[in-house]
Structures are given as structure tokens and as C-alpha cells.
């Protein structure tokens, strides 16, 4: 049993919104679920898994610039700001700090709702208290 954690973070790497999907589910599912809860921002940084034309158009409709590199299978390459994309490491650092908690790293909880609650509790303790 594996899962993917989709997160919206602020510029300092603190989680704002979290969503858990099954491990074999595409990243587009997490993107679609979190799209409605995006805050008013200027840029969104994401990895290659979130590269979809519909997602880029939805971000553009909200007035958000997408800094997402294109998938390698794309016929026409997508331009993105490489200097800005380097700041995505804050999201990776946030995931690493959450996995410092043993309960999150080993996924003791079998129920996804309970697992998401454990992640939210760990995020609250680490970043907001």
C-alpha cells in the first residue's frame, strides 16, 4: 500500500493544503482536487507530473503563472523559468521534514483519512506551533 501526498505550500515551504491519493493514481488527480483551494498567488511551481495543458489553462484563468517543466514525451517543449524552478526544493524539504515523523514515514495508518490527519498534525506541530 502506497500513497502520494499532494501539497500546496507557501513561499517558505509551509503547507497550506494537503491531499492524499493512492500511489498508482496520476498526479493530475491531485492537481484537480487542489485547484479550487489555490490561494491568490503570482507563480505556481510544480514538477513534471503536473504538466498538462488543461492544468496550465486553469492556472492561467486564475491569473497564475505556471513554472512547470514539460514532460519528456511532449512534442513541443514548454518554456519555464529555470531560476525560479530551483526554489521548488522548499517543497521537497517540507516533505522530508514531515517524514522525520515516524508515523508519517512508515504509514502506520491503514485508513487514508487517518493518515492524512497524522500528516496534518505533524505539519501543525512542525510549521505552525
Q: What is the pLDDT of residues 92-127, one digit of tens each?
A: 999 999 999 998 888 888 888 999 999 999 999 998
Structural domain span for residue 39: 3-128
Burial class (CB in 10 A: 0-12, 13-18, 19+), 73: exposed
> Residue 1 above 70 pLDDT?
no
Could you give the angle at the alpha carbon of 102 between the alpha carbons of 115 and 48, nearest 5°?
Answer: 65
Cα 109 from chain centroid (whole Å): 21
Distance CA 50, CA 33 (A): 12
Q: Which cell numbers hold the place of 66?
A: 505556471
Number of domains composing the chain: 1
For the segment 23-74, what is each residue's pLDDT rounded down to a tens digit? 888 888 889 999 999 999 999 999 898 999 999 999 999 999 999 999 888 8
Amino acid at each position: 500500500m502506497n500513497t502520494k501526498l499532494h501539497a500546496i505550500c507557501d513561499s517558505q515551504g509551509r503547507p497550506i493544503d494537503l491531499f492524499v491519493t493512492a500511489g498508482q493514481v496520476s498526479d493530475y488527480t491531485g492537481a484537480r482536487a487542489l485547484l479550487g483551494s489555490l490561494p491568490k498567488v503570482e507563480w505556481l511551481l510544480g514538477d513534471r507530473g503536473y504538466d498538462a495543458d488543461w492544468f496550465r489553462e486553469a492556472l492561467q484563468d486564475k491569473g497564475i503563472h505556471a513554472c512547470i517543466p514539460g514532460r519528456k514525451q511532449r512534442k513541443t517543449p514548454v518554456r519555464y523559468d529555470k531560476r525560479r524552478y530551483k526554489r521548488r526544493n522548499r517543497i521537497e524539504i517540507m516533505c522530508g521534514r514531515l517524514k522525520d515523523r515516524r508515523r508519517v514515514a512508515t504509514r502506520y495508518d491503514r485508513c487514508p483519512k487517518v493518515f492524512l490527519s497524522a500528516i496534518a498534525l505533524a505539519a501543525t506541530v512542525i510549521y505552525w506551533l
